[in-house]
Amino acid sequence: MDDKKAAILSEIPRLRRYARSLLRDRDSADDLVQDCLERALVRLDNWQTGESPRRWLFTIMHHLFIDQMRKVNRRGEAAMLPLEAGEAQAAPADQVETIASREIIDALQAISPDRRAALVMVAIEGFSYAEAANILGVPAGTLMSRIARGREELRGLLDDSSRRRSIRIVEK
Amino acid sequence: MTRRDFSERDIHMALDGELPGEERMAYDAWLEADPEMKARSARYIADRAAMRAALAGVMDEPVPARLRQAVFGEAPVKVSAWRSRWWLSAAAAVVLAVGGFGGYVAGVDSIARGGGDDDQLAEQAIAAHVIYAAEKRHAVEVPASDKDHLQTWLSNRVGLKLVAPDLGAQGFQLVGGRLLPAGEQGKAAMLLYEDAKGERISLFVTAESSATSKGTYTAEGGGPEAVYWLDKGYACAVVGSLPPERLSDVAKTAYGQLLAGISS
């Protein structure tokens, strides 16, 4: 039991990194990780010995993320309602964030959640296509097309933001 | 060596370490001969490096105490249905992204998946409405004729001072109310109202909430709409199949009175 908990604990930094790429705001990302951990602990028995805790935890977290995104999506109107002051603007995770890293994280937030998850899972978290497809519960072909589209989308967004930045510089 | 035709797809595979080793040399030669593809590959590599750099710091941050606590703390209480509000920030991010990228609308693929067990207030309120508002004789446990008892009883059970709103100005009269489960272990009060034409709406009120949110919600397959408010310590949803403006008007009036009652 405690071995399992120790294994889970050692995955937290990775779960936090993944959550941060999905959600940007540090507290929200940690809320997602906490939900994931709580869910994992009540289902500790579902975790088969020998199975990688990483894959198991990422699968749990991904389901939480996608379920909620689906709800948010269906609740489009809720997203458009004015939130209480301070809620709408997610606090930047780090004051020392460079422009470049802020831009890339912003761009990542703007691509569709499915593509974001697929891309991050492979490009940052280092899962193989087979592992990532398994975690995301999609066929490998779907995973590959999400990654390819995600990269293209990201590139377009980064081009847009650097274009806007250069326009701002010209205007000064 | 058999040469196969490479394509953009292989750029991704090479980048992600999925290109078979024996194809690597042929791939490199292909890339070298195609400036456009070579530039694309270089760009993806640069973007990936930027992504990794932007997120690298997270790995070095100390694990927050609350997460450590979640693993090693007391036996976990069941995940509270409405504690999590991170999705709110995700919703806000969608709005910001849409605005921030000059109207660029991220195409969100719809995902078909059954709901998790973290059902939301609105879903529970709609489910209750669908079941009980359709009942002719057994819609409520305590009728409006016994309003004082209804209010006292529900207030005690739910743990909020409940005053049944007066929606007469909106054309709705109280039919009565009942006690329902809410969230994982909580309780909710359902107050049922009816207008002269027999159109019914219900108010679903619970103390089981620690999130802050408001909005409207309709189940995927259509059906009644819920207008809901969540706040710390109480949450309310008004459910009905009225035209949106009318439901919204009724909901605001009901919520205003409920809130006045709760904080009185």
Residues of chain B numbered 26-55 and touching chain A (CB < 8 Å): 43-44, 47-48, 50-55
Work out the percent of chain B whose per-residue pLDDT is above 90.
37
Does B232 or B205 have the greater pLDDT score?
B205
Every domain of chain A and the residues it spans: 1-93, 94-172
- pLDDT band at residue A17 under the 50/70/90 scheme: very high
The per-type count for chain B, helices as H runs and strands as E runs, is: 8, 7
Q: Residue A74 pLDDT > 70, yes or no?
A: no
Q: Does domain A94-172 have CATH number 1.10.10.10?
A: yes
Q: Residue B157 pLDDT > 80, yes or no?
A: yes
Written as one letter, the residue type at A162 is: S
Residues of chain A numbered 1-40 and touching chain B (CB < 8 Å): 5, 8-9, 12-14, 16-17, 20-25, 27-35, 37-39
All residues at 6 or more sequence positions from B59 whose CB lies less than 8 Å from its CB, including other chains: A13, A14, A17
- CATH number, domain A1-93, options 1.10.1740.10, 3.30.470.20, 1.10.540.10, 1.20.120.1200: 1.10.1740.10
Chain A residue whose CA is closest to B82: A35
Query: pLDDT tens for residues A98-150?
Result: 777 888 888 998 898 899 999 999 999 999 999 999 999 999 999 999 999 99
Task: Supply φ then ψ for residue B218, to 5 degrees.
Answer: -130, 140
Q: Residue B17 pLDDT > 90, yes or no?
A: yes
- pLDDT band at residue B184 under the 50/70/90 scheme: low
Rounded mean pLDDT of chain A? Answer: 80
Q: Does A159 touch chain B (CB under 8 A)?
A: no
- The strand pairing partners of B20, in sequence order, are none
Work out the percent of chain B whose per-residue pLDDT is above 70.
80
> Look-up: residue for tokens 């409940």?
B162
Query: What residues of B are in contact with residue A7 (Cβ under 8 Å)?
Result: none
The three-class DSSP label of residue B174 is strand
Considering only CA atoms, which of A71, A53, A55, A146 is closest in space to residue B87? Answer: A71
**Cα–Cα dist A27/A23, whole Å:** 9
In chain B, where does the domain assigned CATH 3.30.200.100 lie?
121-262
Are B86 and A31 in contact (CB < 8 Å)? yes
Are B100 and A110 in contact (CB < 8 Å)? yes
- pLDDT band at residue A69 under the 50/70/90 scheme: confident
Residues A52-69, mean pLDDT to the nearest whole number: 88
Query: What residues of B are in contact with residue A29 (Cβ under 8 Å)?
Result: 86
Q: How confident is the model at residue B187, as a pLDDT?
A: 87
- pLDDT band at residue A77 under the 50/70/90 scheme: very low
**Of the partner residues A34, A79, A120, the one whose CB lies closest to the CB of residue B94:** A79
Residues of chain B numbered 75-114 and touching chain A (CB < 8 Å): 76, 78-79, 84-98, 100-102, 104, 106-111, 113
> Do A39 and A60 form a contact (C-beta atoms < 8 A)?
yes
**Cα–Cα dist B42/B17, whole Å:** 15
Written as one letter, the residue type at A130 is: A
Q: Does B16 touch chain A (CB under 8 A)?
A: yes
Query: What residues of A are in contact with residue B16 (Cβ under 8 Å)?
Result: 122-123, 128-129, 147
Which of B37, B59, B109 best tests the A interface by mutation, with the highest count of A CBs <10 A?
B109
**Thinking of the domain B121-262, which architecture would CATH place it in?**
2-Layer Sandwich (3.30)
> Do A73 and B91 form a contact (C-beta atoms < 8 A)?
no
- The strand pairing partners of B228, in sequence order, are B215, B237
Cross-sheet strand order for the sheet of B172-182: B142-143, B172-182, B186-195, B200-206, B234-240, B225-231, B213-218
Written as one letter, the residue type at B184 is: E
Query: What residues of B are in contact with residue A13 (Cβ under 8 Å)?
Result: 58-61, 63
Rounded mean pLDDT of chain B? Answer: 79
ipTM of the complex: 0.83
- H-only helix segments in B114-263: 121-132, 147-158, 244-262
